[in-house]
Amino acid sequence: MAKLMVFYKEKTLDKMSDKEWEDLCDRCGRCCLIKLEDEDTGEFIYSDVRCVLLCGKSGQCKDYEGRKSLVPDCLKLSKENIKEIEWLPSTCAYVKIAKGEDLAWWHPLVAGNDSAIKDAGVSISARETVCSSDMDVDKFLSHIVKWPNLDPKDE
């Protein structure tokens, strides 16, 4: 009987194929929420304001392939930059694997379905968010939240 390879347990991030890299993303959408960095402290401030391309119902990018041309400051996560990005949520599969941790029970590769991440409250589709194009910039401070960087069990 052939051994089923669980690539994320047997490969480091830099050894994953492009398909494995994409499959590792849990599609939570948290990285596509607007965040700010306090220039004085270096602390990241998270909001419930989502990128104009992020669908609030599905938690998915509306134009994943064309996102960089539509949203020029969109940061594409890569094997080269993943370890330097400090604002990724603690629930992020890339962060967990980089730290040598296992994926959470709700991750689609573990759960075997795409609904567990929403059921667990990790996906932005399980939350109230506002699209950046619909938000009054003067009211941004009222959209500051802590949950994008927390595991739901820690809230």
Per-residue pLDDT of 15-73, as tens digits, reads 999 999 999 999 999 999 999 999 999 999 999 999 999 999 999 999 999 999 999 99
The H or E element spanning position 111 is helix 108-111
For residue 2, is it within any domain?
A: no
Give yes or no for residue 1 having a pLDDT over 50: no
Dig out the tokens for 96 from the structure.
Answer: 């967990």
Cβ proximity of 49 and 143 under 8 Å: yes
For residue 54, is it within any domain?
A: yes
For residue 105, is it within any domain?
A: yes
Global pTM reads: 0.87
Percent of the chain at pLDDT > 90 equals: 81
For residue 26, is it within any domain?
A: yes
Q: How far is CA 118 from CA 4, 61, 115, 126, 127, in A?
A: 27, 16, 5, 5, 9
Three-state DSSP class for 20?
Answer: helix
For residue 3, is it within any domain?
A: no
Q: Please report the pLDDT score of residue 2 as a whole number.
A: 44
Q: Please report the pLDDT score of residue 3 as a whole number.
A: 44
Q: Please report the pLDDT score of residue 6 as a whole number.
A: 85
**Structural domains in the chain (count):** 1
For residue 1, is it within any domain?
A: no
- Of the pLDDT bands very low, low, confident and very high (cuts 50, 70, 90), residue 133 is very high
Q: Please report the pLDDT score of residue 153 as a whole number.
A: 74
Overall average pLDDT of the 64-87 stretch: 91
Cβ proximity of 122 and 59 under 8 Å: no
Q: Please report the pLDDT score of residue 155 as a whole number.
A: 66
Q: Please report the pLDDT score of residue 107 as a whole number.
A: 94
Domain that holds residue 46: 16-154
For residue 98, is it within any domain?
A: yes
Dig out the tokens for 7 from the structure.
Answer: 């690539």
The whole-angstrom separation of Cα 90 and Cα 49 is 19
- With vertex at residue 115, the alpha carbon angle to CA 111 and CA 120, rounded to the nearest 5 degrees, is 80
Please provide residue 124's backbone torsions phi and psi, each rounded to the nearest 5 degrees: -65, -20
The whole-angstrom separation of Cα 134 and Cα 155 is 27
What are the DSSP E strand ranges found in 20-92? 33-37, 44-50
Closest CA to 79 of 142, 125, 17, 3: 17
For residue 73, is it within any domain?
A: yes
